[in-house]
Structure 1
Amino acid sequence: MHVAVGSGNPVKRDAVERALAAGGDTVARDATVEAQPVPSGVSEQPRGHAETIRGAETRARNVLAEGDYDLGVGLEGGVAAFDGTDGLFLIMWAAVDDGDTVGRGAGPSMRLPAEIERRVADGAELGPVMDDVLDAEGVARRGGAAGAFTGDRVDRTAALETAVAGALGPFVTKLY
C-alpha cells in the first residue's frame, strides 16, 4: 500500500507511519508512507472545526491526485471554541481518502494558555506564537504546541497519530 501525506512536515509523516504501524492488519504491514506538500485551501491558521476539517480533507484529496497512491492523508491543526467552556483550544483533524471513501478523525484538544489565546484571537498564527513564547524555532516540527501544553506528556506526533488512527477506521475495520 502506497500512502501519501499532504505535508512536508516530518512530524505529520511520522504520525501517519505510527498510526499505520499500530494496527496488525495488512494495511499496516504493506504500507509505505511518502510526504508531499500540497495546499490546504484554508487559512494559515484555521479557525473552527469546519475550516480545520476542510483543510485536512483538501490536503488528502490534493495529495491523492499527485501520484499513484492508494491513500491520501491530510492533517490540519487549528484553534476552536467549544460550547459550554471558555477559551480557545488547539484542535487537530485528519482525513484519509482513497478516491471513494473519506475517513475523518480528531486528535486531542488542549486549552490555549491565556496569553497565547489572546495573541491567536488577535490574528496571530499559533506556530510562530509558540516559537516566540518558547524562544525556539520550528516548534511545529518537533513537540508542537501539544507538547508544550502538556509538559511533553503528549507531543504533536502522538496527538496527530490519534487523529490519523480515527480517520483510518473505514479502511481498517468492517464496522463502517
Structure 2
Amino acid sequence: MERVAVGSTNPVKVAATERVVEELFEATVVGVAVDSGVPDQPTGRAETVTGAENRAARALEADTDATYGVGIEGGVADIGERPGLYLIMWAAVADGERLERGGGPSLRLPDDIADRIRAGEELGPVLDGVLDTDGIKERVGAAGVLTGEVVDRESALTHAVAGAFGPFVTEFY
C-alpha cells in the first residue's frame, strides 16, 4: 500500500488529499507539520506555488516511508489588469524525482476584505473577525464563505490536488 504525506496537519488539506487519493489508488494519507518557506499569507501566484512545492518536498523528506509528498497552499493574487484581489489555491505533488503542480479555483475577494489583506493581514483571521468565527480555514474556508457554501475549501483544494497528481497517474505526461 502507498503512503502519502501531506505537508500540513490542517484537517481540510488532509481530507482533500484523501478524497483524491481514494479515487486513484490504495494508500494511507498522513499529515505532517512542515514549514512552507513563504509568508503565512502568500501573495502572488509564484509565492503561492513555491509554498505548495516546498510543502510537498518537505513532507516527503519528513516521512521517509511516503511514496508521495503533497503540498497545498492558498494565497492571494492580482489577475493582470482585472479589478480586485483573488483567492488562489495551488497544490504540488513530489515523488523524489518529479514535482508536479495543479491549481484550484480563483475567487474575487470582497473589496473591504481585499483592502485588509493588502494592508498585511491574513485572510483566515480577517474572515474569522468579519464572521465572528474561529478557525474558518479549517472548515468551509474562504471558498465556502464566498460561494454560499456551494464550493467549500475541501472541494476547492481537491481540484488542485487532483491536477497535481494527474501527471503521476495518467499516460498523457
Q: TM-score range by the shorter chain?
A: over 0.9
Give the corresponding residue for 1:64. 60
1:43 Cα deviation from its structure 2 partner: 0.3
Give the corresponding residue for 2:105. 108
> TM-score, normalized by length of structure 2?
0.97
Count of residue pairs brought into register by the alignment: 171
Correspondent of 1:93 among 81, 90, 93: 90
**In structure 1, how many angstroms separate the alpha carbons of the residues matched to 2:172 and 2:98?**
14
- Percent pairwise identity: 56
Correspondent of 2:27 among 20, 31, 49: 31
> TM-score, normalized by length of structure 1?
0.95
- Give CA-to-partner distance per residue, 1:135-161, whole Å, 9 cap, x none: 100000000000000000000000000
SS at match of 2:33: coil
**In structure 2, how many angstroms separate the alpha carbons of the residues matched to 1:99 and 1:118?**
40
Give the corresponding residue for 1:117. 114
Give the corresponding residue for 1:18. 19
Given the alignment of the two structures, is residue 41 of structure 1 paired with residue 42 of structure 2, yes or no? no
Give the corresponding residue for 1:55. 51
In the alignment, residue 57 of structure 2 is paired with which amino acid? R
| Stretches of structure 1 lacking an aligned partner (at least 5 in a row) | none
- Give CA-to-partner distance per residue, 1:71-117, whole Å, 9 cap, x none: 00000000001113111000010000001011100000000001100
In the alignment, residue 158 of structure 1 is paired with which amino acid? S
SS at match of 1:69: coil
Q: Which runs of 4+ in 1 moved over 4 A?
A: none
**In structure 2, how many angstroms separate the alpha carbons of the residues matched to 1:84 and 1:129?**
25
SS at match of 1:152: coil
In the alignment, residue 6 of structure 2 is paired with which amino acid? V
Correspondent of 1:155 among 149, 152, 155: 152
Bigger shift: residues 136-145 or 14-23: 14-23
- Aligned ranges for residues 74-85 of structure 1 at < 5 Å? 74-85=71-82
**In structure 2, how many angstroms separate the alpha carbons of the residues matched to 1:145 and 1:65?**
30
CA root-mean-square deviation: 0.7
